[in-house]
Structure 1
Amino acid sequence: MTNILSEVTKVRDRICAVGRSVFDRGLTFGSTGNISARLSDGSMLMTPTNASLGTLDPAKLSRFSPEGNFIDGDKPTKESFLHICMYCKRPSAGAVVHLHSTHSVAVSAMADLDPADVLPPLTAYYVMRVGRLPLIPYFAPGDVQLARAVEEKAESHHAVLLANHGPVVAGNTLEDAQYATEELEETARLFLLLQGHRTRPLTEEQADALRQR
């Protein structure tokens, strides 16, 4: 019991630290975005509804059972199913980050994207941290059809981009999910900066070699 209580305390503090970091650097704003982490007993801690990631209270995080049922804490976000979908399909995932980061959302609203892989492999770190990024069709926040659409991709992709909404990224650890989300946002920014310019992304052979690593 002591070990799990200690783990819960540490994870609560870490979620709040990550939330403050991404908020302070302008990667999310207002009360948008949510972060979760899965504990060793399978239960989940998640940032609650209507909460700024910059001013989270560790004691008020929403807690869910391993089956995804709300247990206690502040009222959960209506986007909790995005996290639960990822955990359900990715047994090794220890955390999920969902942001409404500006450049990623801007890309998600562009026309004529490749729905199987939204962003080109502009850098090695993007390929290693994110891989292929499928686009999930637009559904209103909280729509059960969005959950089904994410579930369809989650087993084979740890990162997805929701159309006109933002990225959802799972990682083995909270740091993995955070860094991959930040790499995705930076690559989206580069992609927008390069519009109208001739570009030289990694070749398919170069990208495949990195993905195999």
Structure 2
Amino acid sequence: MNDPRRAVTEAGRRLHALGLSPGASGNISVRTPDGILFTPTGRGLDELTPEELAALDADGAHTSGPPPTKEVPLHLALYARDPSARAVVHLHSTHAVAVSCLEPDDPDSCLPPLTAYFLMRAGRTPLIPYAAPGDPALAAHVQAVPFPFRAALLANHGLVVTGTDVEQAVWSAIEVEETARLHLLLHGRRTRPLDPAQITDLAKRHSVHWPARPKEGEAA
């Protein structure tokens, strides 16, 4: 879709219809040639109109429209980390929030590589240390992650993903939420995640940074 304003508003309605943005939670942004468009603060994602998005310049200064989401620093940190990112989606979807309240089994990814589509669309998903919503410390925690990532869970908060456009970011957010739901359904059971060879193959095909750990008993 060429119209970034319409892309954001349609994405908001879709995510709300799927039940992934309860109340007035969640926010979306997209890079444009003139800067970055953000969803406004205090508005449900199903209430957005193309004319009522907040416009900021590339440095994060508000240039027009209503006040933007308080999570502007989080979005800017993700764009600064990855110049290829053109859109960011942040949600408080139920299963992702639940997993964000658990201690992760893997310090580098709080969601295991259960399915091919999770690895293809999201990849390694770190747990970002807690900071209050809108606190610049949250952006600093994002900047401090020592490896590339497309998706992350924010501790006791929700999920955030980047994409090369709004549509890709939406698909990734949906995949993270579905993988979080699977993880909770399987929690405490003996699971069979993707093996190192499968992870390596998918990571190479889809430019995902997820070094495969050797199986138990294999040399590193």
Contact 1:107 1:192 in 2 (8 A): yes
TM-score (norm 2): 0.89
The residue identity in structure 1 corresponding to 2:129 is P
TM-score (norm 1): 0.92
Q: Does 1:194 align with 2:186?
A: yes
SS at match of 1:184: helix
The residue identity in structure 2 corresponding to 1:114 is D
Count of paired positions = 205
Give the Å deviation of 1:67.
1.4
The residue identity in structure 1 corresponding to 2:48 is L
Distance 1:105 1:35, change over 3 A: same
CA–CA distance in structure 2, aligned partners of residues 113 and 80 of structure 1: 30
CA–CA distance in structure 2, aligned partners of residues 113 and 146 of structure 1: 22
Give the Å deviation of 1:25.
1.1
CA–CA distance in structure 2, aligned partners of residues 85 and 42 of structure 1: 18
Q: Does 1:181 align with 2:177?
A: no
CA–CA distance in structure 1, aligned partners of residues 20 and 12 of structure 2: 10
Q: What does residue 165 of structure 1 align with?
A: 157
The residue identity in structure 2 corresponding to 1:131 is G
The C-alpha deviation readout for 1:122-175, integer Å capped at 9, x for no partner, is 000101111101111111112221110112238611211100011110111111
Q: Does 1:13 align with 2:6?
A: yes
The residue identity in structure 2 corresponding to 1:79 is E
Give the Å deviation of 1:108.
0.4
Q: What does residue 97 of structure 2 align with?
A: 105
Q: What does residue 31 of structure 1 align with?
A: 24
Q: Does 1:65 align with 2:57?
A: yes
Contact 1:171 1:177 in 2 (8 A): yes
SS at match of 1:127: helix
CA RMSD of the aligned region, Å? 1.6
Compare 120-129 and 109-118 and name the one that shifted more.
Answer: 109-118
Q: What does residue 88 of structure 1 align with?
A: 80
CA–CA distance in structure 2, aligned partners of residues 167 and 133 of structure 1: 9
CA–CA distance in structure 2, aligned partners of residues 11 and 154 of structure 1: 31
Q: Which runs of 5+ in 1 are unaligned?
A: 1-7
Q: Percent identity?
A: 49
The residue identity in structure 1 corresponding to 2:122 is V
CA–CA distance in structure 1, aligned partners of residues 132 and 187 of structure 2: 28
Give the Å deviation of 1:28.
1.0
Q: What does residue 54 of structure 1 align with?
A: 46
Give the Å deviation of 1:10.
1.6
CA–CA distance in structure 1, aligned partners of residues 90 and 51 of structure 2: 21
Contact 2:74 2:136 in 1 (8 A): no
The residue identity in structure 2 corresponding to 1:136 is I
The residue identity in structure 2 corresponding to 1:15 is V
Q: Which runs of 5+ in 2 are unaligned?
A: 206-220
Q: Does 1:207 align with 2:204?
A: no
CA–CA distance in structure 2, aligned partners of residues 202 and 172 of structure 1: 25
CA–CA distance in structure 2, aligned partners of residues 66 and 140 of structure 1: 24
- The match for 2:128 among 120, 132, 136 is 136
Contact 1:43 1:64 in 2 (8 A): yes
SS at match of 2:134: coil
CA–CA distance in structure 1, aligned partners of residues 146 and 43 of structure 2: 26
The residue identity in structure 2 corresponding to 1:141 is P
Give the Å deviation of 1:204.
1.9
CA–CA distance in structure 2, aligned partners of residues 42 and 98 of structure 1: 22
Give the Å deviation of 1:197.
2.1
The residue identity in structure 2 corresponding to 1:55 is E
